[in-house]
Structure 1
Amino acid sequence: MFYYDSTYFILLPALLISLWAQTKISRSFNKYSKVYSSNGYTGSQVARMLLDSAGLLDVPIERVAGNLTDHYDPSKRVLRLSGEVYSSTSVASIGVAAHEVGHAIQHQNSYKPLIVRNTIVPIVNISSSASWVIFFIGIVMGIQPLTSLGIVLFSAVVLFQLVTLPVEFDASSRALRILEERSILYENEIYGAKKVLQAAAMTYVAATLMAISQLLRLVAISNRRND
């Protein structure tokens, strides 16, 4: 049986924005992955240069499987690049690699939003799944304190997404500034890298809007049951 719930409409705008953001990053990366840098550096070479210039000689670069699985692991102080980004000389790959170096530099400089995000990660890992279970147990059994607890726990997910936004935007700003200052990419190439990173940033904006929409939906369901 299909269950109709009018509160799903709360999610619709965020869902549409998420689909648009995913399409945008896919198209942008595919477009600029075919535009190669004049200097001929690969993503891993650029990452190594930028890490070394920032005094992060002890941060290794690892190649990982998957598409756009690039990330900096602050717990192990390791920068991981997907296969395409690692070995490609495209402006898209260089932009992504530099962005991840931006996170490593944030970690080195104790960038406050990054510290906050890293601190709440263990809480969010638990609350993201437990919140739904606790919330719906409260709804089914009619126990309002459990329902409220589920909402509070899910609020941690929203907080995580909100804190993530300045972390990601700052990492991209650092990346583009360094790439231009060190003449790793030239003006038209910087434009391409910027387009890719802007598209990537929109996926985080979409994720934040989705989390907020989910929270509003939980509140709406809770209020409806109380009426």
Structure 2
Amino acid sequence: MLLSWLVSARMKSRFSEYSQIPIPVTGREVAEQMLKDNHITDVKVISTPGHLTDHYNPANKTVNLSESVYNSNSIAAAAVAAHEVGHAVQHAQAYHWLGLRSALVPIVQLSSNLVGMVLMIGIVLLAMGG
């Protein structure tokens, strides 16, 4: 859990740092151009609420860019947008490891939720002297 927190903190710090370097295009424009360059016409680029909630959804073929990436014209936004489009390119090329990654997403999400609950139960039991 500590490692996950450290990685997340480092990523947010880097994103913040590189968000200060402007470029002439937005994250949305980078994503759309990359899809066009790779001849992918059935994937939509959409804005999603939150900060760094970016992801590619192979089920509905959308590149979901957080508001801080979609509308931003920074190096950080371009990098995040390019990363997410990379998953769409992998999907279009039937990259076999993408299937494994997609299958693991629900398991990782469930595990993440369970860890939080188990931690809370442990804290409560410890506080009760058990």
Give the TM-score, by structure 2 length. 0.78
TM-superposed CA distance for 1:121, in Å, is 4.7
Instruction: Please state whether the residue corresponding to 1:56 is helix, strand or coil.
Output: coil
Query: Whose radius of gyration is greater, 1 or 2?
Result: 1
2:20 to 34, 45, 53: 34
Within a 5 Å distance, the mapping from 1:4-43 to structure 2 comes to 15-37=1-23, 40-43=24-27
What RMSD over aligned residues (CA atoms) do the two structures have, in Å? 2.4
For residues 76-119 of structure 1, give each alpha carbon's deviation from its aligned partner in whole angstroms, at most 9, with x where no partner exists: 11111111100111000000000000000000111111112224
Once residues 97 and 75 of structure 1 are traced to their aligned partners in structure 2, the CA distance between those partners, rounded to angstroms, is: 18
Mapped pair 1:79 → 2:63: yes
TM-superposed CA distance for 1:68, in Å, is 0.4
TM-superposed CA distance for 1:57, in Å, is 1.7
Mapped pair 1:59 → 2:39: no
Aligned CA distance change for structure 1 residues 34 and 17 (closer, same or farther; 3 Å): same
Once residues 28 and 126 of structure 1 are traced to their aligned partners in structure 2, the CA distance between those partners, rounded to angstroms, is: 24
Q: Which has the higher contact order (CA 8 A, sep 6+)?
A: 1
* Alignment correspondent of 1:154: none
Higher strand share: 2
* Alignment correspondent of 1:105: 89
Within a 5 Å distance, the mapping from 1:76-225 to structure 2 comes to 76-121=60-105, 124=107, 128=111
Once residues 19 and 116 of structure 1 are traced to their aligned partners in structure 2, the CA distance between those partners, rounded to angstroms, is: 24
Once residues 43 and 94 of structure 1 are traced to their aligned partners in structure 2, the CA distance between those partners, rounded to angstroms, is: 5
Instruction: Please state whether the residue corresponding to 1:28 is helix, strand or coil.
Output: helix
* Structure 2 unaligned regions, length at least 5: 119-130
Higher helix share: 1
Give the TM-score, by structure 1 length. 0.46
Once residues 113 and 91 of structure 1 are traced to their aligned partners in structure 2, the CA distance between those partners, rounded to angstroms, is: 28
Once residues 74 and 96 of structure 1 are traced to their aligned partners in structure 2, the CA distance between those partners, rounded to angstroms, is: 17
Once residues 13 and 103 of structure 2 are traced to their aligned partners in structure 1, the CA distance between those partners, rounded to angstroms, is: 34
